[in-house]
Structure 1
Amino acid sequence: MPLFFDHHKYMMTAGNSPLENSFGKIPKRSKWDDMVNGRKPFETPERRQERIQKMIHKIETEQADASIARGYGVVSETAATSGQMTNIVLPDNKEDIYLSWIGDGLGIEFDNKLTILFNHEQILLDIFEGWSYYRQYLEKYPLLKGNEINKWNGRWISHRYDLAYGGDDPLAGFNPLKSDINGLFKLEPVPWANVIIGIAQKNSIENIVGYLYYIDKSNTTIGFIPFKLQDIMRPNQLYAKIFGAAEWSQNRRQIEKLYGTGIGLKAACQAGCIGIPAMEPKGLKDFLPKEKRTKQISRKVDEEQKIIFSTYLIWILAMLNNEKLWDMSREFAELLLKYEAGAAKARRDRTNNVNQLFESASTKQFLLNLIPIIEDEEEKSGYENIGKVLNMMPKDNFPYFNTLIRFQYALLNK
């Protein structure tokens, strides 16, 4: 409690507890004071100790509710969190009340304001290790907003589990603060995929369950969600295998920023678990074949765009879960390029045939659009092989395989 609440700025909000409201109504303050001073009406050590003692007294003598226990419901039937009320007599365990504050302080907040709490000893210890550094930052930077321990946990654990982390100098290369136009410092929330990839790299476990929630004026609960850590690591492993470990290492930070941005963590939870589908990069969905016009892949690709396209390719390959399709898609793309170049006078017709093939929204449509191409070719074995693969492929995989071919074609034809 002293580390979090016996300072000028708190490390986390104390909600409607005596730690915030011990001395009656809090005077109105400007937004500047609210951010910089952490909404504390009195700043002397003696006043802080009075608040802490009043909090302890209330915990020891009153029934647990949201004013003294993090994540609990309220007593009033008309309050926003009254849905958590029950007529079941629950044990009033005082230790659980204190633990609720520790548990809330160990949550990791992401850029969508969702917080995850993992019940894993080493992860919790590594998060706890960063608490003292957050206090150091709050004391060192007077214009840094307090009350953001969960955002800090995300920044810290992402740094702590980074491959470049050095234990001899824990803060080396750590730049968690961002200043705004008013000169205030704030913590930028970390993308969820960065943290989960780090956890997967540093902990030799296949799966882990996280509790997802958001505590504010009203509480939001997503529930207990399994994270398939080995699946989440799969795209990185494939990238290093396909393009080389050196290229993956050089572009790692740009690549990992793309993962998990396609649908967001909250939406991904609707699937019941977090794995490769949740890692979808933003923008890829526009390139998947659909009934209406599909987004064209540019042939003019700079280095940044190449990394994005390569990440798309690798995620698709991870979704297909068949590495043989990488070589097959590339060979078929080369076959189509040779087909286009095969007749100078009919080049435009052949290009149109290829474009129509890529716009196929189903396996059946793809095979029908392949017929005019096969009729123009003497050697048909490559096309027959693709037909066999498509016939055996689950229908849900077709859009990914078609897009894989299209990206291979575009990169070869740049």
Structure 2
Amino acid sequence: MYTAYIGKRLIQLVNQREGKERSAQEFFDEVYIPLFFMNERYLQHVNNSKFDQAYKQKKKTPLTTEVLANALSGQHEKILTDAPDGSFFLGGAAAEASAGTSGQVTDLVLPITEHEVYASWVGAAMGVGVSGGLNVLIDSNEVLLALYEGWYRYREYLTQTPNLKPHQVNTWNGYWLTNVFDARFDPEYPFANKSPDIKTDAKTGTASIETTSWVKVIFALSERMPNQSLNTYVYSLSQMNTTVGFVAMELPAVRYLNELYQKISRESGALTTDSFDTLYDTALGFQRACELGKIGIPALEPKQLREHMPGRGTNKPFKQPKDKDDPILITYNLYQTWIIAMLNNQQLIDLTTKVASVLNEFANEGDRGKKVNSNAVDKLLETKNRREFIEKMAEFVKNDEKNATNFDELGNTIILMPTTDFPLFMALLKLKYAVAKTK
């Protein structure tokens, strides 16, 4: 299981940094167990482990030092004598063939040593929990060491917050990455810039850390490592294990999206003090995004943009902003950012801006009471395919000969455009037309 690989990677990194040569078992005993389990408020939940069994009995038998020591002793015995299964080889299959987490198990006898079992516990604690109930293992020295330091901060925070529920190390990891990789992070005051999002149950008073959006985690990684593409492993370990698999994160593309948004915001004058990651919300959940094979610009489609596209949504028009200070312009800048990044065709983008302005001028000409021109523009923007758009645009050439060159250029561009780009182009044209009407 990949958890064992990541666990061994971390142990090697910490050993190198500290000048030690601890084995996986020694690291387990000397570092991991004292921090995670030698306290009645565990940092991690390991289902059906000896520690989990002791925790479930704590009302009858309090988790004293002796009880925890016995749980550790029993866990060692199980690891050293029993065939590995999912209760103590984290990420492994269940022991029984009929169990729900026993599927797709090879009949080849793979050599799994006790060192790999110990390392799997450490590796599972490296999982970065994101919204959607999935964890991400990230094969990066900088990320692994940052998460390792975050463990100690988690224990500190848990101690300072008596009503905070335990067992949330993976959820904590998601928060911690967005905090420690923020440019404003101060190690002397680690929670000053960004505290965990806490939700408190009104009835019980129990608090819990809210799961971090996968988009925020990816944006944080792109800020810290803008030139790297990371290999990640996406999964979930719970009552039923889930394996999504290996997913590449294209951080340069994600970083470009942020830079493009800043450029568009400056040019439009619709500026905000909110950071890009707090404004951004995606149409796709994390698992669906992973199904694209990699996390890049396509996976970051903004939420609700699709309903403005022909063929993909309801082809709704964009609401006209009230004025230049309308907050909706910030959302429109997010939409423009993604569409422009997807099209990656500056000539088409410039032409779209020009045509949107021409359409606005045409709509305002003639008899305002009859709105003949305005209705013609609306019908043009309701088109659902290239052929229909070009046919309707031909009517504009007859009625607006002075802009025939612009329409002709746009028609030629659309003919050569990939079919998949047409919905993006139409959404961009409608958006720019709505903004042009405000100016």
Given the two structures, how large is their TM-score scaled by the length of structure 1? 0.91
CA distance in 2, matches of 1:247, 1:184: 44
What corresponds to 2:430 in structure 1? 406
Please give the per-residue CA displacement for 1:26-69, whole angstroms capped at 9, x wherever unaligned: 4597xxxxxxxxxx952211211111121112112222111211
Is residue 143 of structure 1 aligned with residue 163 of structure 2? yes
Q: 2:259 aligns with which of 204, 227, 237?
A: 237
Is the 2:125–2:169 Cα contact (8 Å) retained in structure 1? Answer: yes
1:114-153 correspondence to structure 2 within 5 Å: 114-153=134-173
Closer/same/farther in 2, CA of residues 400 and 41 from structure 1, 3 Å limit: farther
Corresponding residue of 1:111:
131
Distance 1:93 1:27, change over 3 A: closer
Query: By how many angstroms is 1:17 displaced?
Result: 0.9
Could you say which residue in structure 1 is the equivalent of 2:337?
A: 314
| Alignment partner of 1:328 out of 338, 344, 351 | 351
TM alignment of 1:216-227, pairs within 5 A: 216-227=238-249
**Partner residue, 1:17:** 49
Residues 1:188 and 2:210 aligned together = yes
The 5-angstrom pairing of residues 27-106 of structure 1 reads 27=57, 41-106=61-126
Task: Find the aligned partners of 1:298 and 1:248 in 2 and give their Cα distance.
Answer: 16
Q: CA deviation at 1:181?
A: 1.6
Relative to the length of structure 2, the TM-score reads 0.86
- Distance in 1 (alpha carbons) for counterparts of 2:268 and 2:147: 30
Aligned partner (choices 263, 286, 290) of residue 269 of structure 1: 290
Q: Is the 8 A contact 2:54 2:63 kept in 1?
A: no
Between the aligned partners of 1:129 and 1:292, the Cα distance in structure 2 is 45
Query: Percent identity over the alignment?
Result: 30
2:178 pairs, out of 129, 143, 158, with 158
Q: What is the CA-CA distance between 1:138 and the residue it aligns to? A: 1.3
Check conservation: 2:54, 2:67, Cα contact below 8 A: no
CA drift of 1:95 comes to: 0.8
Q: Bigger CA drift: 146-155 or 285-294?
A: 285-294
Which string of whole-angstrom CA distances, capped at 9 and with x for unpartnered residues, describes residues 204-258 of structure 1? Answer: 54311110001111110000011111111222111122222997984442x4235
Give, in angstroms, the shift of residue 5 of structure 1.
0.6
Q: Distance in 1 between matches of 2:150 and 2:51?
A: 23
Matching residue of 1:178:
199
Deviations 1:94-140 (A, max 9, x none): 11111111111011111101111011111111111111111111111
Contact 1:116/1:211 (<8 A) preserved = yes
Deviations 1:316-357, CA, capped at 9 Å, x for gaps: 111111233332221111100111122125851211111111
The answer to whether the 8 Å contact 1:114/1:214 transfers is: yes
Equivalent position of 2:3 in the other structure: none
- Determine the C-alpha separation between the residues in 2 that align with 1:178 and 1:324: 48
Out of 35, 42, 45, the position equivalent to 1:3 is: 35
The code of the aligned residue for 2:278 comes to K
SS state at 2:137 partner: strand
| Equivalent pair of 1:353/1:372 in contact (CA under 8 Å) | no
Matched ranges for 1:370-381 at <5 A: 370-379=393-402, 380-381=404-405
SS in 2 for 1:178: strand
RMSD value over aligned CA atoms?
2.3
Could you tell me which runs of 5 or more consecutive residues in structure 1 were left unpaired when the two chains were aligned: 30-39
Please say which of residues 164-173 and 110-119 is displaced more in the overlay: 164-173
Distance 1:239 1:166 in 2: 26
Aligned partners of 2:357 and 2:46: how far apart in 1?
62
In structure 2, distance between residues paired with 1:200 and 1:346: 52
The SS at the match of 1:344 is coil
Decide whether the 8 Å contact of 2:226 with 2:251 is kept in 1.
no
Deviation at 1:300, TM superposition (A): 3.8
CA distance in structure 2 between the partners assigned to 1:360 and 1:57 by the alignment: 70
1:359 aligns with 2:391: no
Q: How far does the alpha carbon of each residue in 1:160-187 deviate from its partner, in whole angstroms, 9 at most, with x for none? A: 1123223342221222123232322111
After superposition, the Cα gap between the structure-2 partners of 1:377 and 1:92, relative to the gap in structure 1 and judged at 3 Å, is: closer
Residue 359 of structure 2: SS of its match in structure 1?
A: helix
The unaligned stretches of length 5 or more in structure 2 are 1-32
Confirm or deny that 1:207 pairs with 2:248.
Answer: no
